[in-house]
A = this chain, B = another copy of it.
Amino acid sequence: MKDRESIPKATIERLPLYYRCLDKLANFEDVDVVSSKDLGGRLGIPPTQVRKDLSYYGEFGRRGVGYDVFDLKRSVGRILGVDEVWTTILVGAGNLGRALVDYKGFEKMGMKLVGVMDADLSKIGNKIGGVEVQSIKKMDEIVSENDAKLGIITVPTDAAQEVADEMIESGIKAIWNFAPTRLHVPEDVTVRNEDLAIGIVSLIYHLSWKKRDEEEGK
């Protein structure tokens, strides 16, 4: 494998796409061998890019033949770490929390939800996705009992930093943050901000410039 620090973020973000596609090929379509052209074609990624992305991690496939679907799926799964189980807690049992808990794709990616918490006492005891909502005061207990390392934050903006602090205190090492605010965390904690406003605004930006171009008769 090449120096891990030098692997582009875009490559890392394409690996889950390859993994999901290979899983589909192996388990639902009974395909044994796939070329970079086929794999890329299904994902809208040029075959040269597919080969380049994989080449960061080693040599896979055979020239002129293609990749063994099962082998490549296993290798990519190992690279991603989704061949292991990652125990996860979620704080914020609102609609977004519910939507995430219900999303079946996450389990395939190694995520195992071991606790859902909320500060709102009226939500405690509700079941979402088969998991009972518990008080946020149980966080320490839930995290240590399950050795959870991953935390998902789906609380309102104002509560996000406090929840993050509590997560880190209890041993969480990676946070998936859906609150539109910047979290302050120690260096050894990884944060990924999933800021949904960026999605809608980038579409509005494109629509808006298209409209301006049309008005100017471009």
Interface size class of A (residues with CB under 8 A): 35 or more
A65, CB-defined interface residue at 8 Å: no
Q: CB within 8 A of A81: which of B86, B105, B106, B209? A: B209
A109, CB-defined interface residue at 8 Å: yes
Say whether, besides A99-B94, A105-B197, A208-B84, A203 and B176 are in contact (CB < 8 Å).
Answer: yes
Q: Mask for A143-183, Cβ within 8 A of B = 1, else 0?
A: 00000011000000000000000000000011110001010
Say whether, besides A150-B207, A203-B192, A208-B80, A99 and B109 are in contact (CB < 8 Å).
Answer: no
Chain B residue numbers with a CB within 8 Å of A79 are 205
Minimum C-beta distance from A177 to chain B (A): 10
Interchain CB contact under 8 A, A197 and B109: yes
A100, CB-defined interface residue at 8 Å: yes
Q: Which of A11-19, A47-55, A67-75 contacts B (4 or more CB under 8 A)?
A: A11-19
Chain B residue numbers with a CB within 8 Å of A33 are none
Q: Mask for A39-83, Cβ within 8 A of B = 1, else 0?
A: 000111000000000000000000000000000000000011110
Interchain CB contact under 8 A, A199 and B173: no
Interface residues of A in 177-210 (CB under 8 A from B): 180, 182, 190, 192, 194-210
Interchain CB contact under 8 A, A44 and B182: yes
Chain B residue numbers with a CB within 8 Å of A106 are 197, 200
Minimum C-beta distance from A149 to chain B (A): 6
Interchain CB contact under 8 A, A102 and B109: no
Interchain CB contact under 8 A, A207 and B20: no
Jot down 5 A-B pairs with beta carbons below 8 A, ordered by A. A16-B201, A95-B96, A95-B98, A176-B200, A192-B203
